[in-house]
Structure 1
Amino acid sequence: MDLVVTAAGATVRGVAAVSPRWGATLAMPLFGSVAKPRPVRPDDEATMWRARRRTVRIAGVDRRGVDVDTYEWGGGARTVLLSHGWNSRASQFTPLIRELVAHGYRVVAFDAPAHGSSAGRRTYLVDWLDVFAALQQRYGAFDAMIGHSFGGLATLVGVAGGTDAARVITIAAPADADLLLSQFQGMLGYSDAVSARMRERFATRYFPGQPDPFAWLSSVRRPLPAEVPLLVIHDEGDRIVPYAEAGRIMSANAGGRLLATTGHGHNRILVADAVLDAVLEHLEVPSAARTSPASPGVRTATVLPAAAAGELISASVAA
């Protein structure tokens, strides 16, 4: 994979030396490309086999239509929607699915286009939003939406844009699409001139008619409705999405609660007991956050006042 990225970066940079616009034209299809789906891990297979499987059809980034695989567990009256990250799949939530079902929730998840078992080769955040809309039509209002990484950003954007969810939880989520474009530039190593053309093409390709799509794709510039309780979970050592992104999300969502972990990174955080406990607790909190006893590698945070937005106020520190 590194060799592929290196070769792609060299090609884009070579073309961009002649024309930054041509370089951006060449780089743009790569931005929405997804690696070959990872298989379901053996430990997750039993949970996935028990799911009630269906599909929803959405337009897809190419607007040609794509079928998305959906999964449902449990039969409770309260529905929780799970939104996986880039290059992942619904099965990444298996430990959380088991916990939620055991506590009486109906759990819904999906494999985004080009992910997991779903069709397609390319995708972007617009597909996550279309899936949210299709599942909202099927199930009605969600009691909660939980998103990991890219799926966390999609969740924030979706609820800020009108998806009906009583509570939101993000895990290792970026604060806006700008970070994703910056990371893509760093990966391919193209110039700022190409980056500027990329932003133009990105806006035109994915959000035609939007005067400023980067404001629309930002949890900082476009926060959640004030009545929606938010829990932000992030590991301080995350090497994929920097921990500072959690502070940016919190800075714009006064009254949110931040749970900082250590030693779990970007993906292992999904199976941490303290994280699962915090998620279940948040589902029962209508507004103000409560603190829980700390577990190893976890720092819990109280509700942050506006004056302290973006700063972690430690309620307890693991020994």
Structure 2
Amino acid sequence: MSLLVATAGASVRAAGALSPRWGAALAMPLFGRVAKPRPVHADHEPTMARARRGSVTIAGIDRRGVEVDTYEWGAGDRTVLLAHGWDARASQFAPLVRELVADGYRVVAFDAPAHGGSAGRRTYLVDWIHVFAALQQRHGDFEAVVGHSFGGLAALVGVAGGIRSARVVTIAAPADADALLAGFQAGLGYSDAVSRRMRELFASRYFAGDPDPFAWLSSVRRPLPAAVPLLIVHDRGDRLVPFTEAERIAAAHPAARLLPTSGLGHNRLLAADVVLDAVLAHVAGPVADQAPDVAPVDVETRPEPALAASTR
């Protein structure tokens, strides 16, 4: 545990001992804050150098607008969208990008707000979905959305909410926003009473007027349409997102394929041959004859796929 996290946790616990409301108020600004972006790994630099770069602008966590860096490789009308996780960046998908482009796909990715080269210091789940919507405006329907960790949850929530994709792949993904809040609580060590206030504060601040945003920020309570094939990849020894999260996702999607691995942890999955092969096979696999009819959700209180962002 870093000194910063330990100090923050001590402060939240002390405030929470006096009042759960105070503890939650102190913890809330920390919840969406992102660490300083990591540099691009040397092995990934050649792939990123070949990317066609662009940007999209979304509302962002503060509703003031934030510019997001985008990347594109390959050509054609079969587009695969890649969504990275928290404290990560698009470059981590470099091994998968190379494989997909070699198989003839157009590949698009992005650095979410406060990640990689994108602007901002704070972000939240809906930002990912708004980027999905902006890129859908640019590229049309997706052949697949592939999400790692936090990006995997965004893929599940986004496609369940109206983002049009023939297939979905999650890699080391949590099942819902509750899992994110539980992990945050475990990291700072605050009480269940503070946790309950955190949930209330999170809902009221970002989803005012929505009686239960956690119902749609969940792949368990709002699973993908049955017509969308799902591949779930997760390592049994993942220390950041427990394997039980994959089991929860699979239980909510009886037709999904669950690929468990061992010894790859949370991030090494992204470059493992067994994972790359499984993703390529899933992206090329069969889908239903017709895309599912999914009604998009309200733009003011929930991420609206068609109206959430502008592009250039």
TM-score by length of 2: 0.91
The 8 Å contact of residues 58 and 130 in structure 2, kept in 1 or not, is answered as yes
- Alignment correspondent of 2:244: 244
1:133 counterpart letter in structure 2 = A
Aligned counterparts of 1:262 and 1:244: Cα–Cα separation in 2: 14
SS at match of 2:173: coil
1:259 counterpart letter in structure 2 = L
- Within 5 Å, which residues of 2 pair with 1:166-315? 166-287=166-287
- Alignment correspondent of 1:37: 37
SS at match of 2:68: strand
Aligned counterparts of 1:203 and 1:54: Cα–Cα separation in 2: 32
The 8 Å contact of residues 223 and 253 in structure 1, kept in 2 or not, is answered as yes
- Alignment correspondent of 1:22: 22
Aligned counterparts of 1:267 and 1:206: Cα–Cα separation in 2: 29
- Alignment correspondent of 1:305: none
Aligned counterparts of 2:128 and 2:256: Cα–Cα separation in 1: 23
Give deviations 1:90-118, integer Å, cap 9, x for gaps: 00000000000000000000000000000
- Alignment correspondent of 1:118: 118
Structure 1 residue 287 displacement after superposition: 4.0
Aligned counterparts of 1:23 and 1:252: Cα–Cα separation in 2: 34
- Alignment correspondent of 2:300: none
The 8 Å contact of residues 53 and 72 in structure 1, kept in 2 or not, is answered as yes
Aligned counterparts of 2:224 and 2:180: Cα–Cα separation in 1: 20
Aligned counterparts of 1:263 and 1:171: Cα–Cα separation in 2: 14
The 8 Å contact of residues 126 and 206 in structure 1, kept in 2 or not, is answered as no
TM-score by length of 1: 0.89
Aligned counterparts of 1:98 and 1:258: Cα–Cα separation in 2: 24
SS at match of 2:155: helix
Structure 1 residue 193 displacement after superposition: 1.0
SS at match of 1:71: strand
- Alignment correspondent of 1:291: none
1:98 counterpart letter in structure 2 = R
The 8 Å contact of residues 159 and 224 in structure 2, kept in 1 or not, is answered as yes
The 8 Å contact of residues 33 and 123 in structure 1, kept in 2 or not, is answered as yes
1:59 counterpart letter in structure 2 = A
The 8 Å contact of residues 83 and 148 in structure 1, kept in 2 or not, is answered as yes
Aligned counterparts of 1:99 and 1:206: Cα–Cα separation in 2: 38
The percent identity for this pair of structures is 73
Structure 1 residue 206 displacement after superposition: 2.0
The 8 Å contact of residues 219 and 249 in structure 1, kept in 2 or not, is answered as yes
Structure 1 residue 209 displacement after superposition: 2.1
The 8 Å contact of residues 167 and 287 in structure 2, kept in 1 or not, is answered as no
Structure 1 residue 76 displacement after superposition: 2.2
Flag the structure with more relative contact order, 1 or 2, with Cα contacts below 8 A and sequence separation at least 6.
2
- Alignment correspondent of 1:163: 163
Aligned counterparts of 2:205 and 2:155: Cα–Cα separation in 1: 21
Unaligned 5+ residue runs, structure 2?
289-312
- Count of aligned pairs: 288
Aligned counterparts of 2:208 and 2:7: Cα–Cα separation in 1: 31
2:48 counterpart letter in structure 1 = M
Unaligned 5+ residue runs, structure 1?
289-319
SS at match of 1:63: coil
